Amino acid sequence: MEKKKNTKEEFMTKTIVVWLGALLCCGLWGSAFPCIKIGYQMFAIGAEDTASQILFAGYRFTLAGILTIIIGSVLNRGVLIPKRQAFGKILWLSMLQTVGQYLFFYIGLAHTTGVKASIIEAVNVFVAILVASLVFHQEKLTADKIAGCVIGFVGVVLVNLTGSGLDATFSFLGEGFIFLSTVAYAFSSVFLKWYSKTENPVLLSGYQFVLGGIIMSVCGFLMGGKVMGFHAASTAMLIYLALISAVAYSLWGILLKYNPISRVAVFGFMNPVFGVILSALLLNGEKQTLGIKSVIALVFVCAGIYIVNREKKTGEKR
């Protein structure tokens, strides 16, 4: 006999809460695309300067972790301090979510196009659902989930079809590393849900960001990266980028704790859509990307999300 859901679980599994919470996360992550580009300009980081980009990301995630711990401690009415059994989980999450994902991503991005990277990154939704279903048996793999993912993926491809930067070539350091980044992120979602059964997801998020951010900072520094040009505006941008990670990943972790992975992960298809829309609004050189194609892509993505989420929660393996 199943235990009666507590009030928090009932609230976090409500459809409106899942949709609004996940869309808020995706909107924040989508805003990171143009804001990172603006941040690179402010700190004079070149498009090909992978070392400085990794160092910049290290600063961002270290700060994100500190902010997450502070915010979580305030909400928890007590300082979030991990217990001994949580250290291994934090290390593993940091290697997947922060270090693995972003090291592979930045190196891969230097050897492929942004269009290819965006499309390959969207595969993380498929990987997360397949791993959760077939490897960890956290839920059932259904026809609706597969169909919803395919339709959502079509939307991602549409929003990235610019007429350039998309071809059939493949390189391990380029597309291969972007795919490994995607796999690392997908596994991090599965492990975060698994670990959240016994640990506070906000605590896990905060400390894995700090650890991962420090490791990335060291890697970027040893590679010769430099981040210069700190002033009021650039520091504010860095703080905003850190807040994106702190708020979005913590909320995402809470949603994963109380819902099947497929129900939440499918919203990841919205990231590039928000990225294109916000880039068009915030970056002068990308205003032409906003048009009917983006609207059609949004329709496909929303249809995919709806198909995955229309399943009755009582039919899910929790």
Give domain limits for the chain. Answer: 7-141+163-259
pLDDT in tens, 79-120: 999 999 999 999 999 999 899 988 888 888 777 766 677 777
The answer to whether residue 191 scores a pLDDT higher than 80 is yes
pLDDT, tens digit, for every residue of 202-258?
Answer: 999 999 999 999 999 999 999 999 999 899 999 999 999 999 999 999 999 999 999
Q: How far apart are alpha carbons 302 and 317 in whole angstroms?
A: 24
- Report the alpha-carbon angle 192-100-234, nearest 5: 95
Structure letter (DSSP) for residue 145: H
Q: Which amino acid is at 177?
A: F
Q: Using the 8-state DSSP alphabet, how is residue 94 labeled?
A: I
Model confidence at 308: pLDDT above 50 = yes
Output the CA–CA distances (angstroms, integers) from residue 260 to 92, 193, 199, 256, 314, in the order listed: 21, 9, 17, 7, 11
Confidence class for position 169, pLDDT limits 50, 70, 90: low
Q: Is 216 exposed, middle or buried (0-12, 13-18, 19+ CB in 10 A)?
A: buried
pLDDT attached to residue 93: 94
Record the pTM. Answer: 0.82
- Higher-confidence position of 318 and 153: 153
22: tokens are 């996940």
Report the pLDDT value the prediction gives residue 255, as an integer from 0 to 100: 93
Contact of 77 with 139, CB cutoff 8 Å: no
Alpha carbon 46 to chain centroid, angstroms: 23
Please state, for a pLDDT cut of 90, what percent of the chain lies above it.
40
